[in-house]
Amino acid sequence: MKRDNATWVSEFILMGLSSDKHIQAGLFVLFGVTYLLTLLGNGLIVLLIALDPRLHLPMYFFLCHLSVVDICYTSSGVPQMLAHFLMEKKTISFALCGTQHFFALALGGTEFLLLAAMAYDRYVAVCNPLRYTVVMNPRLCMGLAGVSWFVGVVNSAVETAVTMRLPTCGHNVLNHVACETLALVRLACVDITLNQVVILASSVVVLLVPCCLVSLSYAYIVTAILKIRSTQVALSLF
The domains located in the chain, with CATH, are 21-230 (1.20.1070.10)
Q: Is the pTM of this model over 0.85?
A: yes
Helix axes 138-164, 94-127, angle to 10 degrees: 150
Confidence of residue 34 (pLDDT cuts 50, 70, 90): very high
Least confident of 11-25, 39-53, 97-111: 11-25
User: Which phi and psi (to 5°) does residue 14 adopt?
Assistant: -95, 120
Confidence of residue 230 (pLDDT cuts 50, 70, 90): low
120 C-beta neighbours (distance < 10 Å), count: 20
The CB-side HSE value for 227 (13 A sphere, CA atoms) comes to 8
Q: Which is it for the CA torsion 161, 166, 168, 174, positive or negative?
A: negative
Tell me what pLDDT residue 46 has. 95
Q: How far is the C-alpha of 165 from the C-alpha of 50, rounded, in Å? A: 41
Cα dist from 189 to 7, 9, 165, 185, 203, whole Å: 9, 12, 12, 9, 23
